[in-house]
Structure 1
Amino acid sequence: MNFCSNCGSKQISLKIPEGDSLPRFCCEQCGEIFYQNPKIVVGCLPVFEDKILMCKRAIEPRAGFWNLPAGYLENGETAEEGAIRETYEEAHAQVEIIRLHVLYSIPQFNQVYLHFLARMKSPDFSISTLESTEVRMFAYHEIPWQDIAFSSSTFAIEKFLEAKNSSYEGVHRGYFPGIPNR
């Protein structure tokens, strides 16, 4: 942080403010405290007739790898609205949310993923030239496990397939590899 967005001062320091327990950027001029919070990533696990819709990423990180449609939640959106928007932006697919499926924490990168189980309204989808180079429906036995971009998508798909053989309909909590379940 180079300057205070409140007063314009360049007198910014990283310190633990009085009454707090974590280091924060603080303006020495006006006393403003700048809190940095994790990014919320929302997406869907879109299903249609025993197939899962996945997108091949057109952008870094992990361009060329498969992923569930997901992206950053925008200001003014509910998590569900963001997941529906991201699914449309990346795959031009219309979905309806069934329920929250996965809460996946990646504290090393300050991200929290919310993957929703979603039913595709129709089998219609297409690529998004900005987001995806390919969009495809995969039968469960066709999932390209070795070519999945992010561990959050792998976790969401694994838990979905496990739940198909059980009555569990709760939220699955996962953590980036290397983080023990807390």
Structure 2
Amino acid sequence: MADRPPPPAANPPANFVRAIPEGDSRQRLVCNDCGFINYENPKVVVGAVVREGGRILMCRRAINPRQGFWTLPAGYLELNETTADGARREAWEEARAKIEIDGLLAVYSIPRLSQVQVIYRARFAEPGIEPGPESLEVGMFRWGEIPWDEIAFPSVRWALDHYREIGETPHFAARSNPPGELGNF
């Protein structure tokens, strides 16, 4: 999962200034020439808890942040992509896994990073995994084998715990941040 704050806005183009538009309460980038407002919005992260035979797919990160730590296959949603399509794409990019999504597991708010994370529960659509370009290695772990001391991000632990809570229940309500976890870690 992505755990980095969005980069600060680059110096705005010469005709943009930071101002509070009429009827708004926050500073925005506003074009001095035409009044266009360039809204800066949170990033959406998509991913999945992919399971098979009592084991969960995890990826050891080949990139920063948290290079060398374990995560679920997840990353930023692309433009013109559904959240489910993004989760399938991330599983392919990180673990060369083709997955079938069978439910929305959780939606996490991480305001410190300006992120919303949408995590699905999924299973393999086809057999086979191997590291993609963003993974050093991938593996299937039983609950007791998960490298808990090497988990990349708190929200990975949340998703794993939420998956364990619902297991293979066919119908369940999507989870959110655990009590007391406001995503300000």
Give the structure-2-normalised TM-score: 0.86
Q: Distance in 2 between matches of 1:54 and 1:176?
A: 25
AA partner of residue 118 (structure 1): A
Aligned: 1:68 with 2:48? no
**Larger-Rg structure:** 1
Q: Distance in 1 between matches of 2:179 and 2:63?
A: 21
- Structure 2: state its 5+ residue gaps: 1-9
Q: Counterparts in 2 of 1:120-159, with a 5 A limit? A: 120-128=124-132, 130-159=133-162
* CA displacement 1:148-168 (0-9 Å, x = unmatched): 101111100011112239887
- Structure 1: state its 5+ residue gaps: 5-9
Aligned: 1:29 with 2:33? yes
Task: Report the Cα offset of residue 109 of structure 1.
Answer: 1.0
Corresponding residue for residue 95 of structure 1: 99
Root-mean-square deviation over aligned CA pairs = 2.1
AA partner of residue 124 (structure 2): M
More off after superposition, 69-78 vs 23-32: 23-32
Task: Report the Cα offset of residue 123 of structure 1.
Answer: 4.0
Task: Report the Cα offset of residue 19 of structure 1.
Answer: 0.6
* CA displacement 1:116-150 (0-9 Å, x = unmatched): 0001134410111x210010000011111111101
Q: Report how many residues are paired.
A: 174
Q: Distance in 2 between matches of 1:121 and 1:49?
A: 14
Task: Report the Cα offset of residue 179 of structure 1.
Answer: 2.2
Which of the pair has the greater relative contact order for Cα pairs under 8 Å at 6+ separation?
A: 2
* Aligned-residue identity in percent: 44
Task: Report the Cα offset of residue 38 of structure 1.
Answer: 0.6
Give the structure-1-normalised TM-score: 0.88
AA partner of residue 145 (structure 1): W
Q: Distance in 2 between matches of 1:176 and 1:118?
A: 25
AA partner of residue 140 (structure 1): W
Corresponding residue for residue 17 of structure 2: 13
Q: Secondary structure at the match of 2:176?
A: strand
Q: Secondary structure at the match of 2:88?
A: helix
